[in-house]
Amino acid sequence: MASEKKENLIFFSDVHGNFEALEASLEVIHAHKDPYIISLGDIVGYGANPKECLAEIRTMAKVSLAGNHDYAAIGLTDIERFNPYAKKAAIWTSQQLDDEEKSYLTGLPLKKQIEGLFFLTHSTPIHPERWKYIITLEDSRAFFPCFDEQICFVGHSHIPLVAEKTGHGALRVLDHHSPIQLDPESRYIVNVGSIGQPRDGDCRACLVIYDQHERIIEFKRIAYDLARAKEKIIHAGLPAFLAERLQYGI
């Protein structure tokens, strides 16, 4: 990443093979000038279009990380610990991907630091391979000492969160429903939510745009063709619950 500040850094995670959600998100992304795209993992798993989502993200993402479902699809994580729906989807996904696609996933890192600016990971900044979640302010508390950068971007929970640690050491959650002005004295853990399977009760795809010049973080929610994504999941023979949950955002 070149050292000049970028206006439109796009962070997203957990596309989970939902091509309809990804396509709708791409329209929003490309409405922005020179988007610099960062994918925080779980490109595949759950949804019916792992190959299509992989192809799209491989072309456009400047930075791409691995998530637990990407690892599951290539046998790098134990799916016995997955719930039955996730396990079934992981096996199905693995059968869809060819060797070349699997080798791309194998090469993805679990974490990345960018020029002293950001720390990026799917799960947590330390021991990402344990796949712990950062959902609440309490979850975030233990992880602030685990990175040196001002902002750590994560995914994995499918639930947006902005946790701030002020210059005085106070911790608080910021409302992510409107743009957030970052304080240069504070540090942040930002959970970017999920494009392909949001779980915060809002069924729309979720992504984050960060303007480095203005230091403003904005969450975007994007409606997409839910009916089609659901239909494809059923048609693929994946568990019906994986289709149902999309419309409730759970």
> To the nearest whole angstrom, how small is the minimum distance from the Cβ of residue 197 to Zn ion?
7
How far apart (Å, rounded) are the C-alpha atoms in residues 212 and 4? 9
Per CB under 5 A, the list member of 10, 12, 14, 125 interacting with Zn ion is 14
Candidates 70, 8, 62, 1; CA nearest to 209 is 8
Binding segment for Zn ion (CB under 5 A), chosen from 37-45, 125-133, 222-230, 242-250, is: 37-45
How far apart (Å, rounded) are the C-alpha atoms in residues 72 and 42? 10
> To the nearest whole angstrom, how small is the minimum distance from the Cβ of residue 186 to Zn ion?
27
Q: Should residue 200 be labelled a site residue for Zn ion when binding is judged by CB under 5 A?
A: no
Instruction: Give Cα 119 distance to the centre of its chain.
Output: 14
How far apart (Å, rounded) are the C-alpha atoms in residues 150 and 166? 11
> To the nearest whole angstrom, how small is the minimum distance from the Cβ of residue 42 to Zn ion?
4
Report yes or no: 45 and 88 within 8 Å, Cβ to Cβ.
no
> To the nearest whole angstrom, how small is the minimum distance from the Cβ of residue 156 to Zn ion?
6
Contacts with Zn ion by CB under 5 A: the residue count is 2
DSSP label at 184? T
> To the nearest whole angstrom, how small is the minimum distance from the Cβ of residue 144 to Zn ion?
23
Return all residues near 66 (Cβ < 8 A) that are at least 6 apart.
Answer: 41, 105, 108, 109, 110, 122
Binding segment for Zn ion (CB under 5 A), chosen from 3-11, 41-49, 50-58, 164-172, is: 41-49
Binding segment for Zn ion (CB under 5 A), chosen from 10-18, 57-65, 85-93, 184-192, is: 10-18
> To the nearest whole angstrom, how small is the minimum distance from the Cβ of residue 97 to Zn ion?
17
Cβ distance to Zn ion smaller for residue 69 or 187: 69
Residue nearest to Zn ion (CB): 42
Q: Should residue 42 be labelled a site residue for Zn ion when binding is judged by CB under 5 A?
A: yes
Cβ distance to Zn ion smaller for residue 134 or 180: 134
Cβ distance to Zn ion smaller for residue 158 or 187: 158
Q: Should residue 139 be labelled a site residue for Zn ion when binding is judged by CB under 5 A?
A: no
Q: Across the beta sheet with 205-211, what order do the strands follow?
A: 63-64, 36-39, 9-12, 205-211, 216-222, 180-181
Report yes or no: 25 and 12 within 8 Å, Cβ to Cβ.
yes
Q: Computed from CA positions of residues 221, 232, 102, 52, in that sequence, does the dihedral angle turn out positive or negative?
A: negative
Site residues for Zn ion per CB under 5 A: 14, 42
